[in-house]
């Protein structure tokens, strides 16, 4: 979809790294919120540091990062706030770090979610990608460690991947700084609606489950007509997800029905949206 | 009306909205029952299949790497339904067999140095400088000997067991063990990662309790904490190994003794694992009800273990730390034992009073008063159970020629220990029940304190402490009754 060749980008004013202004912890007046998700130990923090100029220290064992780190950058005249989420393998189970990541993607409603994936372990990483894309439409895949994959004799066809997933895929070697300009451009396009994502959704439920889903989605949309991810909410309810059930009971889920650019004040992340 | 926020709902009247929202939940609850139990697994599987399909389309390999295949082959075997468990038991049997048969020789050297050579020298030195008998008794016969015993009994098995265990860890085998056990733990209503904290518990229960931090669901974490005690810890291995080689190994010809003893120890360890499942199952169906959470466990690539580094770090980090802990507890315990054996009330020492008091209960459950007193003395550290038992048995039987006096811990070769225990009225039942009770009794005080710190709850600490003791009494009681019934 929106993966550009280097030649295309050379003529694009947004390409030059000079366009990136690292704002560190200055997140005032951000136009967009970007979430950074991914499995543990795939280079999320390297991407975070490259974008914000911060030096966030992370360990590579699960459980070390259970909170989220935040920073800011400015690109093509827009100010972005970026939130580094704890590394997780899935968004389904009930552990604290997964809950933090999921709650932010769901209730924080980031304008763009960058999912950093390890090109050498694509299959495992895609599990998370598919789960994130169940919640949000606007995702960008940062296909990191592409250099390591090459060393292992792996070739990842990022264009095919982008077509299959329905979202932009940017090959990167974040540690070497490769692919950062392309990533910024992709985020910029998705955030500003220049690129439209059509995320791939897993659809292989049995007919019984499909009927159950349909019934629940109907009820959900009756109460919240503009709920953007009713199918996902229904899936979670069927799975007995207490957190989501609580959100439905308390009406918190209704906050998600607000149309874009009309954020409720009680969201986790107060936003000031440019006109 | 294009938006339908909660605020809008309020305008429509709160009652109406509330009904509709609970309606959704009600429907969800009903539908959940209809779609069946394995919905969650199906959901995960769908995602995994889809991820595999997409990844497969996007990735091409320039040529399969042989090591990649090798990993897969090994995983196919060690995590297979048929071979996974037997291999696991075999591997651990080999580790224990190496530990048991390898520890004898250095144990002999150490006891020769510390007990046969240094102890008499110290006593002579004390007499030479005119130290009163009670002071040299307290310091040398009590504190010094207790510590020397612990060092010579514990250091060799630990110096063999820990490096071997760490090598397996370094190789990447432990996550496979967790993988093998995950299914059973989940069926027990516990978290699959409990297998990891249990593995840590085999080294030290306090460490195992801390390791439950990887489990994030509070319910499943509590289960893991309470059942961690059923992982036979380092302080209890020496007891198991000594009793097994004296009594169980003694049942078979000498060339089989080492192997049979190792099998007996593995049997106790496996029983502990089984008890973990059983108690987890019981807890998750009674006081800790709830759903099981799923998790992904990464099976890291196998790596050739870094042998020298592993030996160095496991000796320094694990062996020395555990040994140091044992020594700090052995010092005061040695003093307490010596004092209790030498302070008389009405002509009888405190220790004997206690033993006589507990003897009826001990015999009822196939143990004896000496063992129960030893377990009270050993609350701070399980490591000193055997030294205490031996010392008190000498006291009770009035055996002569095996020690320098009341309350003295000493080292003898195996047959002398066996002889002494036989004189103390020990039978095969006593040995078996001691091995059982050593597995199923309260955690040591360090672990109890750790449980309190981790849970922050007196109630759960109390449950974690008392549950195993009560179970231990019940199990040993039942075994003793059945045994006596069968033996006529």
**What secondary structure, in 3-state letters, does chain B show?**
CCCCCHHHHHHCCHHHHHHHHHHHHHHHHHHHHHHCCCHHHHHHHHHHHHHHHHHHHHEEECCCCHHHHHHHHHHHHHCCCCCHHHHHHHHHHHHHHHHHHHHHHHHHHHHHHHHHHHHHHHHHHHHHCCCCHHHHHHHHHHHHHHHHHHHHHHHHHHHHHHHHHHHHHHHCCHHHHHHHHHHHHHHCCCCCCHHHHHHHHHHCHHHHHHHHHHCCCHHHHHHHHHHHHHCCCCCCHHHHHHHHHHHHHHHCCHHHHHHHHHHHHHHHHHHHHHHHHHHHHHHHHCCCCCCCCCCCCCCCCCCCCCHHHHHHHHHHHHHHHHHHHHHHHHHHHHHHHHHHHHCEECCEEHHHHHHHHHHHHHHHCCCCHHHHHHHHHCCCCHHHHHHHHHHHHHHHHCCCCCCCCCCCCCCCCHHHHHHHHHHCCCCHHHHHHHHHHHHCCCCCHHHHHHHHHHHCCHHHHHHHHHHHHHHHHHHHHHHHHHHHHHHC
Over 70: is that where the pLDDT of B465 sits? yes
Residues of chain B in contact with residue A224, where contact means CB-CB under 8 angstroms, are 4
Per the CB < 8 Å rule, is B52 touching A123? yes
Put simply, the answer to whether A226 touches B20 (Cβ < 8 Å) is: no
| B299 Cβ under 8 Å from any chain A Cβ | no
Distance from CA of A8 to the nearest CA of B (A): 23
pLDDT tens figures, B20-40: 777 888 888 888 877 776 777
Chain A nearest CA to B454, separation (Å): 16
Q: Is the pLDDT of residue A99 over 90?
A: no
Is residue B12 predicted with pLDDT exceeding 90?
no
Residue B289 touches partner A, C-beta closer than 8 Å: no
Left if phi > 0, otherwise alpha if psi is -120 to 50, otherwise beta: which for A58? beta
Between these two residues, B182 and B414, which has the higher pLDDT value? Answer: B182
* pLDDT of res. B466: 95
For residue B413, the model assigns a pLDDT of: 53
Alpha-carbon span B29 to A92, nearest angstrom: 18
d(C-alpha A207, C-alpha A97), whole Å: 33
Q: Which residues of A touch B294 (CB under 8 A)?
A: 90, 92-93
For residue A127, the SS3 value is helix
* Average pLDDT of every residue of chain A: 77
Average pLDDT over residues B244-270: 86
Spell out the residues 6+ positions from residue B140 whose beta carbon is closer than 8 angstroms to its own: B119, B122, B123, B126
Band of residue A220 on the pLDDT scale cut at 50, 70, 90: confident
Of chain B residues 82-141, which have a CB less than 8 A from chain A? Answer: none
- Pick the more confident residue, B126 or B309: B126
B360 or A46: which leads in pLDDT = B360
Confidence tier at A203 by pLDDT (50, 70, 90): confident
Tell me how many residue pairs between chain A and chain B have CB atoms under 8 A apart. 171
Residue A63 pLDDT exceeds 60: no
User: Computed from CA positions of residues A219, A225, A227, A228, in that sequence, does the dihedral angle turn out positive or negative?
Assistant: positive
Predicted pLDDT of residue B209: 84
Determine the length of chain B. 488
- E strand or H helix at A153: none
Tell me the chain A residues in contact with residue B34 when contact means C-beta distances shorter than 8 Å. Answer: 208, 212
Q: How would residue B488 be classed by pLDDT, with cut points 50, 70 and 90? A: low
Q: What is the pLDDT of residues B430-452, one digit of tens each?
A: 999 999 999 999 998 888 988 99
Q: Among B15, B18, B51, which would you mutate to test the A interface (most chain A Cβ atoms within 10 Å of its Cβ)? A: B51
Which of B24, B47, B214 is nearest residue A220 as measured by Cβ atoms? Answer: B24
The shortest C-alpha distance from A173 to chain B (Å) reads: 17
* Mean predicted confidence (pLDDT) in B309-337: 76
Cβ of B59 within 8 Å of Cβ of A129? The answer is no
* Minimum-distance CB partner of B4 among A90, A164, A224: A224
pLDDT score recorded for residue A12: 54
| Chain A nearest CA to B153, separation (Å) | 36
What 8-state DSSP symbol labels residue A192? T
Q: How far apart are CA B115 and CA B118, in angstroms?
A: 6
B407 pLDDT higher than 80: no
Q: What's the pLDDT score for residue B317?
A: 64
Contact assessment for residue B231 and residue B202, using Cβ atoms and an 8 Å cutoff: yes
pLDDT band at B357 (very low <50, low <70, confident <90, very high): very high
A85-99, B158-172, B297-311, B343-357: the lowest-pLDDT one: B297-311
Using a CB-CB cut-off of 8 Å, the residues of chain B touching A92 are: 40, 43-44, 294
Smallest Cβ–Cβ distance between B5 and the set A90, A156, A258 belongs to A258
pTM of full prediction above 0.80? no
Q: Does the structure show a pLDDT above 50 at A266?
A: no
> Pick from A104, A156, A100, A152: which is nearest to A125 by CA?
A156
Closest alpha carbon to A202 in B354, B46, B425, B11 = B46
% pLDDT > 90, chain A: 20
Of A52-61, B120-129, B321-330, B473-482, which one has max mean pLDDT? B473-482
- Can you tell me whether residue A218 is helix, strand or coil? helix
Contact state of B58 with A215 under an 8 Å Cβ cutoff: no
Residues 14-33 of B with CB under 8 A from A: 17, 20-25, 27-28, 31-32
Question: What digits encode the pLDDT tens for the residues B222-245?
Answer: 999 999 999 988 778 878 888 888
Element (H or E) spanning A258, and its range? none
> What is the number of residues in chain A?
275
Residue B294, pLDDT score: 67
User: Is A245 close to B28, i.e. CB distance below 8 A?
Assistant: yes
Interface check B48 vs A, CB under 8 A: yes
Note the pLDDT of residue B227.
94
Banded model confidence at residue A143, pLDDT cuts 50, 70, 90: very high
Collect all residues of chain A within an 8 Å Cβ-Cβ radius of residue B23.
219
Name the residue with higher pLDDT: B114 or A114: A114
Chain B residues touching A219 at Cβ < 8 A: 20, 23-24, 27
Tens digit of each residue's pLDDT (9 = 90 or more) over A183-198 = 999 999 999 888 888 8
Cα distance between residue B203 and residue B162, in whole Å: 8
- The answer, yes or no, to whether residue B2 has pLDDT greater than 50, is no
Name every residue whose Cβ is closer than 8 Å to that of residue B164 and which is 6 or more positions away in sequence. B95, B98, B99
On the question of pLDDT at A19 being above 70, the answer is no
């Amino acid at each position: 979809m929106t993966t550009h060749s280097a030649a295309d980008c050379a003529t694009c004013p947004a390409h030059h790294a000079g366009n990136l202004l690292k704002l560190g912890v200055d997140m005032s007046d951000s136009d967009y919120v970007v979430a950074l998700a991914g499995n543990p130990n795939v280079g999320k923090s390297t991407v975070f540091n490259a974008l914000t100029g911060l030096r966030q220290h992370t360990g590579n064992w699960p459980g070390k990062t259970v909170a989220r780190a935040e920073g800011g950058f400015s690109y093509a005249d827009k100010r972005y706030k970026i939130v580094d989420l704890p590394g997780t393998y899935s968004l389904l189970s009930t552990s604290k770090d997964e809950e933090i990541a999921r709650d932010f993607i769901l209730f924080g409603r980031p304008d763009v979610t960058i999912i950093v994936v390890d090109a050498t372990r694509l299959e495992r990483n895609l599990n998370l990608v598919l789960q994130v894309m169940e919640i949000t439409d606007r995702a960008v895949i940062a296909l990191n460690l592409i250099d390591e994959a090459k060393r292992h004799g792996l070739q990842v066809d990022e264009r095919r991947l982008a077509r299959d997933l329905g979202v932009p895929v940017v090959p990167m070697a974040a540690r070497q700084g490769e692919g950062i300009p392309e990533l910024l451009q992709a985020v910029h396009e998705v955030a500003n609606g220049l690129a439209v994502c059509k995320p791939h959704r897993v659809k292989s439920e049995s007919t019984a489950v499909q009927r159950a889903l349909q019934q629940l989605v109907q009820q959900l949309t009756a109460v919240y007509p503009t709920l953007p991810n009713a199918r996902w909410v229904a899936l979670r309810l069927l799975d007995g997800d207490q957190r989501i059930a609580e959100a439905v009971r308390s009406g918190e889920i209704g906050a998600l029905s607000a149309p874009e650019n009309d954020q409720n004040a009680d969201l986790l992340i107060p936003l000031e949206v440019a006109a | 009306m294009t938006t339908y926020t909660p605020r809008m709902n309020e305008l429509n009247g709160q009652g109406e909205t509330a009904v509709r929202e609970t309606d959704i939940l009600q429907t969800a609850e009903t539908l959940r029952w209809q779609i069946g139990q394995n919905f969650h697994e199906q959901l995960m599987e769908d995602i995994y299949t889809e991820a595999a399909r997409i990844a497969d389309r996007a990735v091409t390999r320039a040529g399969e790497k042989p090591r990649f295949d090798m990993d897969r082959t090994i995983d196919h075997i060690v995590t297979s339904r048929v071979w996974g468990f037997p291999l696991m038991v075999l591997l651990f049997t080999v580790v224990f067999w190496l530990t048991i048969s390898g520890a004898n020789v250095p144990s002999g050297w150490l006891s020769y140095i510390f007990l046969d050579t240094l102890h008499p020298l110290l006593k002579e030195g004390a007499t030479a400088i005119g130290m009163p008998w009670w002071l040299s008794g307290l310091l040398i016969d009590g504190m010094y000997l207790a510590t020397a015993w612990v060092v010579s009994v514990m250091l060799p098995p630990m110096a063999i067991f820990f490096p071997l265990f760490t090598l397996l860890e370094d190789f990447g085998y432990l996550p496979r063990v967790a993988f093998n056990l995950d299914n059973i733990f989940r069926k027990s209503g516990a978290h699959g990662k409990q297998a990891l904290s249990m593995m840590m518990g085999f080294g030290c229960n306090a460490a195992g309790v801390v390791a439950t931090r990887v489990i994030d669901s509070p319910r499943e974490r509590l289960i893991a904490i309470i059942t961690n005690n059923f992982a036979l810890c380092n302080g209890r291995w020496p007891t198991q190994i000594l009793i097994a080689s004296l009594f169980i190994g003694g049942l078979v010809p000498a060339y089989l003794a080492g192997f049979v003893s190792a099998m007996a120890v593995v049997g106790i360890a496996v029983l502990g694992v089984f008890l973990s499942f059983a108690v987890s199952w019981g807890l998750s169906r009674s006081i800790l009800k709830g759903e099981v959470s799923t998790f992904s466990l990464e099976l890291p690539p196998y790596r050739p273990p870094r042998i020298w580094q592993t030996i160095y770090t496991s000796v320094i980090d694990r062996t020395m730390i555990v040994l140091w802990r044992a020594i700090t507890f052995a010092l005061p315990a040695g003093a307490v034992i010596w004092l209790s054996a030498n302070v008389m009330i009405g002509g009888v020492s405190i220790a004997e009073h206690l033993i006589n008091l507990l003897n009826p209960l001990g015999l009822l459950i196939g143990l004896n008063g000496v063992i129960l007193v030893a377990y009270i003395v050993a609350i701070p550290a399980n490591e000193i159970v055997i030294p205490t038992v031996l010392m008190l048995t000498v006291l009770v039987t009035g055996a002569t020629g095996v020690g320098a006096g009341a309350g003295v811990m000493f080292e003898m070769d195996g047959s002398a220990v066996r002889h002494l225990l036989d004189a103390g009225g020990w039978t095969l039942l006593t040995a078996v029940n001691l091995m059982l009770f050593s597995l199923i009794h309260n955690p040591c005080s360090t672990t109890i304190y750790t449980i309190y710190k981790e849970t922050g709850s007196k109630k759960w600490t109390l449950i974690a402490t008392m549950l195993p003791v009560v179970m231990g009494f019940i199990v040993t009681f039942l075994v003793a009754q059945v045994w006596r019934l069968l033996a006529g």
